[in-house]
Amino acid sequence: KKVIGIIGAMDEEIASLLNKMDQVRPHACYGIRFYRGTLEGTSLVLCKSGVGKVNAALCTQILIDRFQVQAIIFTGVAGALDSDLDIGDLVVSTECQQHDVDASVLGFPRGTIPFQEVSIFPADPDLVRWAVDAGKSLNHVKIVPGKVLSGDQFISDPAKVLELREQLKGACVEMEGAAVAHVSWLAGVPYVVIRSISDRADHSAHVNFAEFTRLAASRSSEMVCRLLALR
């Protein structure tokens, strides 16, 4: 039977899913708690990776190796890069890239990993379609399929937003998705990242993040629930 891995970086990002899960069985591994159980009739393993690319990569690898998940969904909040996005709107990853990879001084384009064939990791088209369809039942919320950029930086600068949008064509920016995407791609496991906007990655980002993370995180988990119900 298919088992889905679901990752959030922070407590707020997994809390409502954990609440709704049935037959929850916790397991600890590398200091991360993994919760096996079911949700909307689907077997899944839910976990909180912690913040940043390394934590997210480790968590993804454990889900694949130890829990043998057949697909991975990341749920959480992000800063908007696309100016059409309002707080609470949703981005479904069509692809992910690490914006903080930069060996441009050696002649490698910014955001590309030297000597590696792929640096922009495509999400699974079926998962993307399911997520977008699932989002249609959420009223008054924009669902934007687009590129998710990740780096080990909290972005709070309009100049940086412009740069990430123009140079790397990102719809939103966060700190884990591309790491999940990278590991999933290496393992051949389908993934999708679902992010709801908590802030605009500008000078007010830290204030907005504090105020809207809970709302945005619950929107993203609602989308995950509806996606699971659709499958």
CB nearer ligand ADE, residue 73 or residue 85 = 85
Site mask, ligand ADE, residues 184-213, x = CB under 6 A?
A: --------------xx-x---x---x----
Backbone angles phi, psi at 35, to 5 degrees: -115, 110
* Cα–Cα nearest to 213, from 57, 10, 24, 26: 10
Nearest approach, Cβ of 24 to ligand ADE (angstroms)? Answer: 27
Q: Does 7 bind ligand ADE (CB under 6 A)?
A: no
Site mask, ligand ADE, residues 132-161, x = CB under 6 A?
A: ----------------------xxx-----
Nearest approach, Cβ of 202 to ligand ADE (angstroms)? Answer: 8
CA–CA dist 146, 105 (Å, integer): 28
Backbone angles phi, psi at 168, to 5 degrees: -115, 0
**199 labelled catalytic:** yes
CB nearer ligand ADE, residue 128 or residue 205 = 205
* Cα–Cα nearest to 92, from 182, 215, 224: 224
Structural tokens at position 28: 């600890």
CA–CA dist 79, 109 (Å, integer): 24
Catalytic residue, chosen from 82, 89, 124, 199, is: 199
The site for ligand ADE, by CB under 6 A, has a size of 14
CB nearer ligand ADE, residue 5 or residue 79 = 79
Catalytic residue, chosen from 12, 13, 95, 176, is: 13
Site mask, ligand ADE, residues 56-95, x = CB under 6 A?
A: ---------------------xxx----------------
**174 labelled catalytic:** no
* Cα–Cα nearest to 123, from 227, 46, 193, 44: 193
CA dihedral 101, 83, 197, 147 (to 10 degrees): -40
Which distant-in-sequence residues (6+ apart) come within 8 Å of 211 by Cβ? none
Nearest approach, Cβ of 156 to ligand ADE (angstroms)? Answer: 6
In DSSP terms, which residues pair with 121 in a beta bridge? 96
CB nearer ligand ADE, residue 177 or residue 190 = 177
CA–CA dist 142, 145 (Å, integer): 10
Cβ 131 vs Cβ 108: under 8 Å: no
Q: Does 175 bind ligand ADE (CB under 6 A)?
A: yes
List of residues contacting ligand ADE (CB under 6 A): 77-79, 154-156, 173-175, 198-199, 201, 205, 209
